[in-house]
Amino acid sequence: MGVLVMDYNNQIQKVIKRINKNMKKINHPNLSGVAENGIYSANIKAFNDIEQWVFSFYTGMVFHAHNYTKDSKYLKYLNSFQEDYNDKIYKYNMDTIHDLGFLYSLYSVAMYKTTGDNKAKETALKAADELAKRFNIYGGYINAWERMDSTSGEKVGLMIADCMMNLPLLFWAYQETGHVFYKDVATAHADTTLKYMVRDDYSICHAYKFDRGNGTQIGERNFCGYSVGSAWARGTSWAIYGYAVAYRYTNNIEYLKTAKGLAEFFIANLKEDYIPLWDFRIDENTPKLLDTSAAAIAACGLLEISELDEVIKDKYKNIATKIVESLSLPKYCTLDEEDESMEAILKLVQTGDKQAGAMFGDYFYMEALMRLENCAEIFW
């Protein structure tokens, strides 16, 4: 790929133009977060659904638009969702929701950091409480998906790689309250992930199963990657960024070492365009599909590490820059398309058994642009 000289400011303005257009159509959080033919608003999932975890990536983008432009229209728009977020955490059953960090870091924490709104702070702390309730004291991990009192089933006693990016909510709660409980839960989960999920070559499995009742290790499981033993690209990205943020909050050098080890594994497996295959260990007969969201998340993780480690700073920032430049090409990005109906930004996000647009891919693409322009407010 030829070297591009990107105007990050111009690209951010294109993203904000897309956000402005989307705001006219997206007036409730009842979206799945996966685009259908590039359209988010065509794919509905009730916000109180236990599987609804993606919408906050969109609100995170709107917060970035506000912080970039200082235009109050964005806060007015964001405030319209407060009741939905309060109802979700206070009124509905949280028994199977483990992605509270994704949901509330990019809405309630972002609102509090942006406006000082104490109600938003209280809501975010309530979300941290609910997330911490999912901690299994026997295995030392935050339980994914199933109810905490479930005793049988393949998803009972599971931890997953994605949860490393839920931990920032707990670290933030510790920072705000001084209650060490939040930090203890977060660090225990990070330590258990490192012990059982991060392999010697710094690949990471998607899931690991324990006996729920006594913490006995059962072994690797897979629900999002290609197979047990494979290396799901987006899971690797979640872990890169998650361990980098964990280091920022704790100064635990093992977390920085892990973030860099995962990053080196990710970088070593990138292709010419700096966009990874959706899993680094698919077999030769499996279609070689890419995942732009994994690239965008990893770019943010690399930029986070570059701010924490002077030795690796230039290398990681350079690679993150190349990833973002590549993601901005027309074959991966819709911002220069003339189709006025288009809502999603990135193409080729691996979502289940298909490729589509996804709010998490778009969010991390915007965050990476903002970081490269040195204007990002970090909500993690």
Q: What are the residue numbers of the active site?
A: 99, 162
Nearest to 238 by CA among 167, 289, 308: 167
Residues with Cβ within 8 Å of residue 283, at least 6 apart in sequence: 226
Q: How many residues does the chain have?
A: 380
Distance CA 114, CA 43 (A): 29
> φ and ψ at 82, to 5 degrees?
-55, -45
Long-range contacts of 118-121 (CB under 8 A, 24+ apart): 119/82, 120/82, 121/176
Residues 6+ apart with CB under 8 A from 116: none
What is the maximum span of the chain, computed from C-alpha positions, in angstroms?
A: 57
Nearest to 288 by CA among 233, 238, 206: 233
Q: Check: CB of residue 18 under 8 Å from CB of residue 327.
A: no
Residue 92 identity: Y
SS3 at position 264: helix
Number of Cβ within a 10 Å radius of residue 25: 12
In the chain, the amino acid numbered 329 is: L
What is each CA distance from 186 to 26, 250, 306, 320, in whole angstroms? 33, 10, 23, 27
